[in-house]
């Protein structure tokens, strides 16, 4: 049995991880569950899965939960790290949606635990450090999201030296068919109206600006040790092909399936085996289409390629500023174009630190948040 510690168990990815566990209860044991503040759902999960440990990032909610359960609770901003440092599990599922996921991933790696990764910030902000530490400790980093799972499957058994390019597909998000003017005036509700995937609010906005695809490009660089010049983004509205690899002989290998996050989650947990999955089989009567991304309408993707070329602390700065500005947009305090404008200004003002240590990255993240606040408050 695989012994799992799940960070973000009450979120969109976390609940789908538990769907996979439900289908194969004889293959998994839940050692720990971590959540932010949704203690009602967490209580149900505790009752059902009987973990040995629980973590709650929201201290007030943790104290509220403390009197209702007998399971030991880690609480506060270090709860995820404390779970990651446990001895009792063997695979960490990191589905936290924040920069807090970096420390938890590194803590798990130091304990020589394998990591199934859905937390984008880990590799976007600290990919160089994380992958180096994973290699030193003999730890597997298995991607959970559909695009990186697809790339992993398309690369499996092939010589990485023969790769011409990685092709990361993209649905285009909720604003895919809008004009530049319509995008600039888009409401929060419009930006949250994703046509294919059901995700949390923050990642849905990132999908609408294509920043999420930029994050995935940087993740792919680190996961597959691939230079940015060999990574391409293609808009594929149907979300059937989850990514592709083109080889030196012009052959392209693609991974196809109906969009369902449970598939990449299950594959990350079952690899190298393949198990039956409760996924709808593909209907071959569907048409598939592709087009190039429009960087004029979606300039955030261009910022990600800029950060990917420069590396150092610049990706962390981009990520932290994006976090801050997406929060402002979701609160109705700015327009969607302000997300791009503020990230660009913060990146331009940043003194990039090449080959950073973790402390350099944390300082850059703190600086970026403060710089973003200053720029935002001057509007």
Give the pLDDT confidence score for residue 206 in this predicted structure: 95
CA 205 from centre of chain? 13
Shared domain for 153 and 198, answered yes or no, is: yes
CA 294 from centre of chain? 23
Q: Is residue 277 one of the residues assigned to a domain? A: no
Cα dihedral angle (169, 187, 125, 16), rounded to 10 degrees? -60
Contact assessment for residue 354 and residue 311, using Cβ atoms and an 8 Å cutoff: yes
Q: Is residue 271 one of the residues assigned to a domain? A: no
Shared domain for 63 and 184, answered yes or no, is: no
* CA–CA dist 46, 331 (Å, integer): 32
* CA–CA dist 122, 254 (Å, integer): 26
Give the pLDDT confidence score for residue 35 in this predicted structure: 95
Q: Parallel, antiparallel, or unpaired for β 241-247 and 252-256?
A: antiparallel
- The DSSP output letter for 334 is S
| pLDDT per position as a tens digit, 73-112 | 999 989 999 999 999 999 999 999 777 789 999 999 999 9
Q: Is residue 274 one of the residues assigned to a domain? A: no
Domain range for 59: 2-143
Is the peptide bond preceding residue 272 cis, with omega within 30 degrees of 0? yes
Contact assessment for residue 303 and residue 214, using Cβ atoms and an 8 Å cutoff: yes
Q: Is residue 84 one of the residues assigned to a domain? A: yes
Q: Which residue has the higher pLDDT, 17 or 200?
A: 17
Q: Which residue has the higher pLDDT, 159 or 279?
A: 159
Q: Would you place residue 37 in the very low, low, confident or very high pLDDT band (cuts 50, 70, 90)?
A: confident
| pLDDT per position as a tens digit, 244-301 | 999 999 999 999 999 999 999 999 999 999 999 888 898 899 899 999 999 999 999 9
Give the pLDDT confidence score for residue 177 in this predicted structure: 93
Q: In what order do the strands lie in the sheet with 2-7?
A: 73-75, 53-56, 28-35, 2-7, 91-94, 114-117, 141-143
Shared domain for 227 and 92, answered yes or no, is: no
Number of folded domains in the chain?
Answer: 2
For 251, the enclosing helix (H) or strand (E) is: none
Q: For residue 232, is pLDDT > 90?
A: yes
Give the pLDDT confidence score for residue 77 in this predicted structure: 87
| 166-179 burial: b if 16+ Cβ within 10 Å, else e | bbbbbbbbbbbebe
Domain end position, chosen among 101, 125, 143: 143
- The rounded percent of the chain whose pLDDT value lies above 90 is 88
Residue 240, classed as helix, strand or coil, is coil
Q: For residue 379, is pLDDT > 80?
A: no
Shared domain for 175 and 104, answered yes or no, is: no
Domain end position, chosen among 122, 143, 164: 143
Q: CA nearest 227: which of 147, 301, 308? A: 308
Shared domain for 130 and 159, answered yes or no, is: no
Task: Give me the CATH number covering residue 316.
Answer: 1.10.1740.10
Q: Is residue 170 one of the residues assigned to a domain? A: yes
Give the pLDDT confidence score for residue 97 in this predicted structure: 76
Contact assessment for residue 13 and residue 34, using Cβ atoms and an 8 Å cutoff: no
Q: Among 100-104, 206-210, 301-305, 312-316, where is mean pLDDT lowest?
A: 100-104
Q: How many residues does the chain have?
A: 379
Shared domain for 154 and 200, answered yes or no, is: yes
Q: Which residues pair with 252 in a beta bridge?
A: 246
Task: Give me the CATH number covering residue 81.
Answer: 3.40.50.720
Shared domain for 48 and 171, answered yes or no, is: no
Tokens found for residue 92:
């960490």
Q: Would you place residue 197 in the very low, low, confident or very high pLDDT band (cuts 50, 70, 90)?
A: low
Classify residue 151 as exposed, middle or buried by CB count within 10 Å of its CB (0-12, 13-18, 19+).
buried
Tokens found for residue 367:
């600086």
Q: Is residue 115 one of the residues assigned to a domain? A: yes
Tokens found for residue 315:
């990706």
145: which residues sit within 8 A by CB, 6+ positions away?
A: 118, 120, 216, 261, 264
Domain end position, chosen among 109, 125, 143: 143
In a 13 Å sphere around the CA of 113, the CA atoms on its Cβ side amount to: 28
Q: CA nearest 263: which of 238, 282, 289? A: 282
Give the pLDDT confidence score for residue 196 in this predicted structure: 64
Q: Is residue 278 one of the residues assigned to a domain? A: no
Q: Is residue 280 one of the residues assigned to a domain? A: no
* CA–CA dist 277, 369 (Å, integer): 42
- The DSSP output letter for 8 is T
């Amino acid at each position: 049995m695989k012994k799992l510690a799940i960070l973000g168990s009450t979120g969109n990815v976390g609940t789908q991880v538990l769907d996979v566990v439900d289908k194969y209860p004889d293959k998994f044991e839940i050692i720990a569950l971590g959540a932010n503040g949704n203690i009602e759902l967490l209580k149900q999960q505790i009752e059902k899965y009987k973990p040995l440990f629980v973590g709650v990032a929201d201290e007030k909610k943790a104290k509220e939960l403390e009197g209702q359960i007998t399971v030991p609770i880690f609480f506060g901003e270090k709860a995820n790290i404390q779970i990651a440092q446990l001895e009792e599990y063997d695979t960490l599922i990191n589905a936290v949606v924040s920069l807090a996921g970096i420390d938890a991933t590194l803590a798990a790696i130091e304990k020589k635990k394998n990591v199934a990764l859905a937390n984008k910030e880990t590799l976007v902000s600290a990919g160089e450090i994380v992958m180096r530490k994973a290699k030193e400790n003999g730890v597997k980093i298995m991607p959970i999201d559909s695009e990186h799972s697809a790339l992993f499957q398309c690369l499996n058994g092939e010589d990485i030296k023969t790769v011409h390019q990685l092709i990361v597909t993209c649905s285009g998000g909720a604003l895919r068919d809008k004009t530049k003017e319509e995008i600039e005036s888009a409401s929060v509700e419009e930006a949250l109206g994703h046509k294919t995937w059901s995700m949390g609010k923050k990642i849905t906005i990132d999908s609408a600006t294509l920043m999420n695809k930029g994050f995935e490009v940087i993740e792919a660089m680190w996961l597959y040790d691939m230079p940015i010049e060999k990574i391409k983004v293609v808009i594929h509205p149907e979300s059937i092909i989850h990514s592709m690899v083109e080889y030196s002989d012009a052959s392209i290998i693609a991974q196809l399936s109906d969009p369902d996050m449970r598939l990449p989650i299950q594959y990350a947990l079952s690899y190298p085996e393949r198990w039956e999955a409760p996924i709808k089989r593909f209907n071959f009567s569907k048409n598939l289409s592709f087009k190039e991304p429009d960087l004029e309408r979606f300039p955030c993707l261009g910022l990600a390629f800029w950060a990917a070329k420069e590396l150092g602390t610049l990706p962390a700065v981009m990520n932290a500023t994006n976090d801050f500005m997406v929060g402002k947009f979701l609160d109705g305090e700015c327009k969607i174009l302000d997300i791009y404008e503020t990230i660009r200004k913060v990146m331009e003002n940043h003194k990039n630190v090449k080959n950073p240590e973790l402390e350099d990255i944390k300082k850059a993240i703190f600086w970026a948040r403060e710089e973003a606040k200053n720029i935002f408050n001057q509007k």
